[in-house]
Amino acid sequence: MPLIVLLAAGFFITALLYASVGFGGGSTYAALLALSGLDYRVLPMVVLACNIVVVAGSSLRFARAGLTPWKGALLLTALAAPAAFLGGLFQIDERSFMALLGGSLVLTAATMLIPVGDQTEGEAGSLARYMPLVAVPMGFLAGVVGIGGGIFLAPLLHLTRWAGPRAIAATTSFFILVNSLFGLAGQLAKNGAATFTGAIYEALPLLIAVVLGGQIGSLLAVKFLPLRWIRWLTAVLVLVVGVRLLVGG
């Protein structure tokens, strides 16, 4: 079976599972593309484009439902977005990129394994006020390696009781959308429009897969598979790929 077909299937499933819970699936897309041997210079552009396609729909859905806490979401995103653009501009060699991607995937796995429990609406924790401090490094990382940063942000928002679960999902989705847009803009400025056009042309089946998966996931709300299982399965995948990249093989 052609590699692009296997990748498209993986991207479809990832988008389907994550669209309804506010994530774009960028860390999993990056893991799959890293395994495929895609040129590291175009990998972030493909991942960020897929992120945008998936979370644009979920961000709109959350906003229409009145679930997005705009004051807090805009503050976090306004701090992270310029850093995401600078991250996209950042020049990095292949070895350093793979090491940074591997490290970010291992960190992603760690954050996904943090138990969040059954959180309810209520008073924010004392550490919630410090969440803007982590937005800048998350934004920069998002721009460099092509992951939206929401997969790091969401567990911290839950642990600090920044808001209720639905508000956190809405904030995470918006955070990923804007960071991915700014990160992609930085990547475009660095690599040129021709490189981006060529990458998107080659990755068109993947974009179609995430469009379909994201729409179906949003409609079905992924009720057939518990979120905890999704988190664990994804954590195992990105952990294995992250460790493999870090050890150079």
pLDDT in tens, 185-232: 999 999 998 999 998 998 999 999 999 988 887 676 545 556 666 667
pLDDT at 22: 67
**pLDDT score of 132 more than 70:** yes
**pTM score of the predicted model:** 0.86
**pLDDT score of 82 more than 90:** yes
pLDDT at 243: 87
**pLDDT score of 125 more than 80:** no
- Give CA 161 to chain center in angstroms: 21
pLDDT digits 0-9 by tens, 145-194? 888 888 888 888 888 889 888 888 889 989 999 999 999 999 999 999 89
- Going by C-beta distance under 8 Å and a sequence separation of 6 or more, which residues neighbour residue 237? 28, 31
Contact 223, 65 (CB under 8 A): no
The full DSSP string for 71-89 is: HHHHHHHHHHHHHHHHHHH
> What is the band of 107 on the pLDDT scale with cuts at 50, 70, 90?
confident
Query: How deeply is 184 buried, as exposed, middle or buried, from its count of CB atoms within 10 A (0-12, 13-18, 19+)?
Result: buried
Number of H helices, E strands in the chain: 11, 0
- Going by C-beta distance under 8 Å and a sequence separation of 6 or more, which residues neighbour residue 210? 11, 12, 14, 15, 25, 29, 50, 53, 54
pLDDT digits 0-9 by tens, 3-50? 889 999 999 988 888 776 667 888 889 888 988 888 888 999 999 999
pLDDT (average), residues 74-88: 96
Cα–Cα distance list, 223 to 12, 62, 139, 173 (Å): 17, 18, 31, 19
Task: Tell me which residue has tokens 């895609």.
Answer: 38
pLDDT at 130: 87
> What is the band of 84 on the pLDDT scale with cuts at 50, 70, 90?
very high
